[in-house]
Chain A
Amino acid sequence: MARALTRRRMLGGALATGAGAFLAACGGDSGKSSGPAQGAATQAPAAGTGGSPQAAATEAPKPGGQLREATITQTPHFSPFHPGADPSFVNTWRRVNGYYEGQWTIKTAGPVGERLSLRLASSVEQPDETTYIVKLHPATYHNRAPANGRKVTAEDRVETAKFLMKPPASGGSFFQSGKDLKSVSAVDELTLRYETFGPRAFFYEAQNGAPGYIVPKEMLDEETLKRTIPVGQGPYEYKAHTQGSIEEAKRFDGYRLKPKPYIDEKKLTFMPDNVAVEAAFRANQIDAIDSESVQSVKQKDALLKDLGNRVVANTYPSTSGMALVVNINRKPWDDPRVREAIYRAIDVDRIINVVFFGDARRSWYYSPASTTRNPLSHDDVKQWVGFDQKKAADLLKASGIDLSKEYEFMVPVENQSWVDGGRLAAEDLAKVGLKTRVNPVVRNIYLQRAGPKPGDFDITMSVFLDYQYMKSKSGTFWDSTSLQDPEVDALVEKIEQTIDVKVRDNLWKDIQLMLARKYSNMMPMLSGNVHHLRYAYLKGLSPDHGFGNVSAGWQDERWLDKK
């Protein structure tokens, strides 16, 4: 029976995508997963300090001005579908965000089930559980070759989706698994028909952010996408850039939602040094900085103290966190007693206090902010993974592990809090007799060694990983973090195929308990807060779209309250 899909039914409460989780994994800092473009699980804005974006939203937006942002790493190309720079896609999105308007975005706040925000899609209907009919708004591309201001058509989306199905384009498992998206076709000039192989809970999530963009079909090959100036239909069009230094965009006069965007120009500066980013913010050469550069609550407090009421800070609970990962493909980590010993040996509260200055909390598989995943608290699983060093020592002895051996504990060097946290964890492990050597390595090496199965590591760290990574075969590059357990695989598959939110909420609970009982080798420790600061004149940041992270999410609401 055909049924119109309500927003509540459509979204079904599930927002975090595996791509989002992995992005966060690559980005390192848990705080980097707060933008909707990353498909991260939702979070309610919390503890805003020094300003009220909601109040600002009631003011009449002023047009004009230039928004100046910075990012710590350059992206060497223009393609929205190919990675190629640290930290991962985050910076690709920063660079191209605004050039494209996707079919929809997913808000980072608001009631569960009401977070789908249609953009280029004017409506979505679901005649049955495997078919989606998406109608698009009329829109035009930027007036630049090869599209030259022509209309956006459903055929463009069809070709874009087909392009995403083939690596090295990053379509994520939904596009590339061969088990999820069955077909996509154009019904007419502005209507699309998606078919999935079965009910798929993450249809919308999978097309949030870059995979939902509609690129002119003439541009769909890797080299063209990487080399050619982006031609989208978003509120901003390319103006100029100096590779490795700066990129400038200007408002697209043909944008379909007039009079938006309000801000005339955007300037994104690539600044690889965090200290320089902070200095630039202090000198008011950039208008906002986010968790990429504000890495601790102390830094945020110092900036607030020094810059006073000229700036506004917002603090959110991160949707991700810091976790240990042990390599299940190696002995002795395949022994659940050893894994339990690790859980019980580490004093996570000490790490929270010493490394994060108390600005974090214990959590289990999902951050408490990840409301769409029905996160269990640490207390819910304490009986399996609670802190108990005596028990840890006994478990290690009982396992027969060679305690004279020293194991490598690899950490990505770019993330200082992980390195520090890793050192404290290593101290705790030593207390129960497990010798480890903390080895900070650069991200590329970290990825190479930790990513593909069987994984060239004993112990390492990661952010919290989403459901795909629980599976024996994650369908992603990051393939060595699961328990490789058929029971887990089956439950994840069930989650993926369950559209009903309430049923799925119970399944989320089941799988988190199952992972605790089986002593998951991805060992969540803590989830911190992310901090964003902006000058008070930057307004119109919708909390629905992660307003603190001015680079992420939808951009056409922002405006500058200054001459």
Chain B
Amino acid sequence: MTSYLVRRLALLIPVLWGAGTLVFVLLRLLPGDAVTTLLADSQNAGDIEQLRRELGLNEPLAVQYVQWLGKAVTFDFGDSLLSRRPVLAELRQALPISAELALIATSITILVAVPGGVLAAARQDSVLDYAARILSALFLATPSFWLGTLALVLPAYYFGWIPPLKYTPLLDDPLTNLEQFLLPGAILGLGSAAVALRMMRSQMLEVLRQDYIRTARAKGLRGAKAIRRHAVPNALIPLVALFGNEFARLLGGTVIIETIFNLPGVGRLTVDAVTKRDYPQVEANVLFFALFFVLINLLIDLLYVFLDPRVRYV
């Protein structure tokens, strides 16, 4: 187990190096750079080169890369080219917002998908099952940006209400915070729940046909108890990976929902940085996502050991 863990952690290095290098190169292949944004308004054209020199953007790509790599290995990602604040400080500020949104969304996904999938499978072909399937298909087919826009506009139109505009940290004012996060969290969560519910249902249907369920019932275990004790834990195993990856994806930011609901999270930070060619910010953000994805996947793999006794890592 320990050697497995070490191997997996060691894999982080090439993954992060690869992701970082890819982003470094791709960003510089895009037309334009931060100087365009910095000097967009009223500068002498001759000063562009000067600013490029100051920011180190005039160096050959290889030199820039070596300089970047040298700093990145010490987790020094430098300052944002636009705000001149450390990029990690910007990321630290945005992260709790995306983390909370991801947490709420994932919780809603689990709360809807697991019971929904179990009930739909347990009552296969009943009205409940059909309702669950139709609703999940509906949410699958509905883009979150559209749902988000409607969720914002319709209450404003009919009731003169929208969630609070100002981001309020959870610890400062939990109620206001929830008022702000619940709607976007629900929209994201229901979108993911649509996939998870269908998956949960099909897993449950498969598990419910297994011999050990039949055995459990034959031994006198009542339906609900058999499902709770034996079917659900087994059906949940593949979904753990889904929930984990969904959480990681949401933590990486959901630009559209963050934009519509005015949440200054990681997604908005990254897209802004990409648009304005704020290289250090994009590189730091992408490396963070890569790191987080790898760690989440590692955690999921380790969880399997506990969820499924048959899984052993050597």
Contact = CB atoms under 8 A, between A and B. Distances in A.
Interface string B152-175: 110111001110111100000000
A475 interface: yes
Contact of B39 (A242, A245, A477): A477
Interface string A266-285: 01011111011011101111
29 contacts: A26-B41, A83-B40, A84-B83, A85-B82, A86-B275, A167-B39, A168-B38, A168-B51, A227-B83, A243-B90, A243-B264, A244-B94, A245-B263, A269-B165, A269-B262, A270-B264, A273-B259, A276-B262, A280-B156, A282-B156, A283-B161, A285-B162, A442-B275, A444-B277, A449-B31, A452-B45, A452-B48, A476-B45, A479-B45
A245 B167 contact: yes
Contacts of A479: 45
Contacts, number: 175
Nearest to A92: B41
A275 B83 CA distance: 27
A23 interface: yes
Interface in B253-308: 259-264, 268-269, 272, 275-277
A243 B156 contact: no
User: In the complex, which range does the number of interface residues on chain A fall in?
Assistant: 35 or more
Nearest to A87: B40
Interface in B132-155: 149, 152-153, 155
A306 B157 contact: yes
Contact of B149 (A177, A275, A447): A275
B36 A475 contact: no
B48 A477 contact: yes
Given A276-B262, A444-B32, A76 B156 contact: no
A171 B42 contact: yes
A28 to B, nearest CB: 12
A121 B164 CA distance: 41
Interface of B: 31-32, 36-45, 47-48, 50-51, 80, 82-85, 90, 93-94, 149, 152-153, 155-157, 160-162, 164-167, 259-264, 268-269, 272, 275-277
A288 to B, nearest CB: 14
A26 B41 CA distance: 7
A31 interface: no
B43 A170 contact: yes
A23 B42 CA distance: 8
Given A173-B42, A245-B167, A451-B40, A272 B268 contact: yes
B261 A276 contact: yes
Nearest to A26: B40
A448 B156 contact: no
Q: Give the most central of B41, B80, B162: most A CB within 10 Å.
A: B41
A70 B32 contact: no
Interface string A231-244: 00000000000111
A472 to B, nearest CB: 12
A311 to B, nearest CB: 12
Nearest to A269: B165
B38 A172 contact: no
